[in-house]
Amino acid sequence: MNFNDTNPKHNYFYNHLEESDHSFFTESGLIDNLFLDLCRAKIDTNIRGKLVNVSVIISDKEGEEQVTVNKYFDYAIRNTPLIIIGKSNHPFIIDNEDIRLDIIKELESLHPFIRQNIMKQSVLKIFEITSPHICYTGIAPRLKVEIRRLRK
């Protein structure tokens, strides 16, 4: 059948298509984009020295450079023990300023259970890097994720 058939039942033409100004994400695309936004967030420390990798900073008191670390990798390393022991109501908190507006809008449009699942999978990617040996056995079952000022 020809796309431009004159059959009124199938009267579709290219000029009838409308562009959408809304970004659509698949579930895995949303997980990956949220993870990338979390990876871009940086924070300065009060430590002078050199960052070797995600969890190692070599202190240099004479160094002039303040160490900048990835905000959520550092947060994950510091809060892993609290999550593992199951300290009640200790969520992994994400600042909404660190996430692009289209991602926030997409998360707000989802059912709370699906939203929590997507946020949890994004944060677990960080724990896969910082604590791979306990990521799914010690952290995943107890992990709760919150985004500050996210409409529920």
Query: DSSP letters of 10-66?
Result: G---GGG-----S----HHHHHHHHHHHHHH-EEEEEEEEEEEETTEEEE-TT--PE
Asked whether residue 17 is assigned to any structural domain, the reply reads no
Asked whether residue 87 is assigned to any structural domain, the reply reads yes
Asked whether residue 85 is assigned to any structural domain, the reply reads yes
Domain holding 93, by residue range, is 25-43+70-147
Asked whether residue 14 is assigned to any structural domain, the reply reads no
- pTM of the prediction? 0.74
pLDDT digits (tens, 9 = 90+) for 33-90: 999 999 999 887 766 555 555 555 556 666 656 667 788 988 898 888 888 887 666 7
Domain total for the chain? 1
